[in-house]
């Protein structure tokens, strides 16, 4: 009797876990941007205009949400063609060998004031590491009878942990390129 009650309870809870709606990232209104120190003084900024992703979310329980996303490495754009060509080369992003940067969530952690952390595996330059995206509260919108969600998120990536080395030094001994890459995401989601 106890076993059958437990099995019945599991059977009844399974659909609730499967009811996550699928939300697609709207590439037209979202952005993937980064910045990194250059010559220890200025910041080089850039973006990846080609990306995709989806979120599984029931609209209520963030802790059960799932996130997966992919960014086209070859789409990098710093508004400097020579620099972009160098960034795509084998010694940095190796875009031909690793055409995508991927992220798959392991868990979502709701925080105070509606903020939340997305903890997952980032695969970059052939290396997979855990990273945490710090996200702002979700905002809900309506658009032509479809619900939309939006948020922003950020993280810092230590490039050397992903085997990306640009270690030429300037005259005073500092690095030409900073070790920390700051990533900023603007994410608009549309319900499928």
Q: Are 9 and 176 in contact (CB under 8 A)?
A: no
Model confidence at 11: pLDDT above 70: no
Q: Which residue has the tokens 């979120």?
A: 55
Fold of 20-191: Lipocalin (2.40.128)
| Cα–Cα distance, 92 to 54 (Å, whole number) | 27
| Cα–Cα distance, 34 to 71 (Å, whole number) | 13
Q: Which residues pair with 136 in a beta bridge?
A: none
Q: What are phi and psi of 9, to 5 degrees?
A: -60, -45
Model confidence at 173: pLDDT above 60: no
Q: Give 23-34 pLDDT, tens digit per residue.
A: 999 999 999 999
Q: Mind giving me the DSSP string for 125-167? A: TTEEEEEEEEEPPPEEEEETTEEEEEEEEEEEEEGGGGT----
Looking at residue 10, its pLDDT comes to: 34
Domain ranges of the chain: 20-191
DSSP state of 79: S
| Cα–Cα distance, 156 to 140 (Å, whole number) | 27
**Can you tell me the mean pLDDT for 73-84?**
94
DSSP state of 20: P
| Cα–Cα distance, 42 to 36 (Å, whole number) | 8
Q: Give 94-114 pLDDT, tens digit per residue.
A: 999 999 999 999 999 999 999
């Amino acid at each position: 009797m106890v076993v059958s009650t437990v099995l019945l309870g599991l059977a009844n809870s399974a659909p609730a876990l499967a009811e996550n709606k699928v939300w697609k990232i709207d590439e037209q209104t979202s952005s993937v941007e980064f910045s990194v120190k250059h010559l220890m003084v200025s910041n080089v900024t850039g973006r990846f205009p080609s990306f995709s992703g989806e979120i599984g979310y029931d609209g209520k329980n963030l802790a059960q949400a799932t996130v997966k996303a992919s960014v086209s490495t070859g789409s990098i754009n710093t508004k400097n063609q020579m620099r972009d060509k160098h960034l795509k080369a084998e010694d940095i992003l190796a875009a031909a060998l690793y055409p995508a940067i991927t992220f798959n969530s392991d868990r979502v952690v709701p925080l105070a004031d509606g903020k939340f952390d997305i903890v997952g595996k980032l695969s970059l330059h052939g290396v997979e590491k855990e990273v945490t995206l710090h996200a702002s509260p979700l905002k809900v919108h309506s658009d032509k009878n479809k619900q939309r969600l939006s948020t922003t998120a950020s993280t810092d990536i230590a490039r050397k942990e992903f085997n990306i080395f640009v270690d030429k030094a300037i005259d005073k001994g500092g690095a030409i390129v900073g070790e920390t890459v700051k990533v900023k995401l603007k994410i608009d989601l549309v319900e499928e």
